[in-house]
Amino acid sequence: DAGVTQSPTHLIKTRGQQVTLRCSPKSGHDTVSWYQQALGQGPQFIFQYYEEEERQRGNFPDRFSGHQFPNYSSELNVNALLLGDSALYLCASSALWGGDKDTQYFGPGTRLTVL
């Protein structure tokens, strides 16, 4: 049973560019959440997707957008990259039902460096 997967592992971009990060949820999960983790900090919630819609959003600008596909996989897009966007981006998946309902399981993350 595959866990949460993310691609790519590492990414280097320059200021002003756009980036797309990808996430496949754990088998049986239908909800995907994205988090940004700056160096030495705890993760910060960006947004959550369920049934292909953004259900909740954290305190992040509109430069951060996302999408969820019918197979529950998800993308995170960041436009007009700033140096401050350099961070580890974590994807987490969860399900509304089952023994571990509402428990978020994380992928290995994508390390984004903006130069």
Partner 1 sequence: AQTVTQSQPEMSVQEAETVTLSCTYDTSESNYYLFWYKQPPSRQMILVIRQEAYKQQNATENRFSVNFQKAAKSFSLKISDSQLGDTAMYFCAEEAYSGAGSYQLTFGKGTKLSVIP
43 contributes a contact to partner 1 by CB under 8 A? yes
102 contributes a contact to partner 1 by CB under 8 A? yes
Separation of alpha carbons 15 and 51, rounded Å: 33
Each as own residue / partner, the long-range contacts of residues 41-48 (CB below 8 Å, 24 or more positions apart, any chain) are 43/90, 46/76
103 contributes a contact to partner 1 by CB under 8 A? yes
Separation of alpha carbons 16 and 41, rounded Å: 25
Q: State which of residues 5, 30, 75, 88 lies at the interface with partner 1 (CB under 8 A).
A: 88
104 contributes a contact to partner 1 by CB under 8 A? yes
Separation of alpha carbons 69 and 92, rounded Å: 15
The footprint of partner 1 (CB under 8 A) covers 33, 35, 41-45, 48, 50, 55-56, 58, 88, 90, 92, 96, 100, 102-109, 111
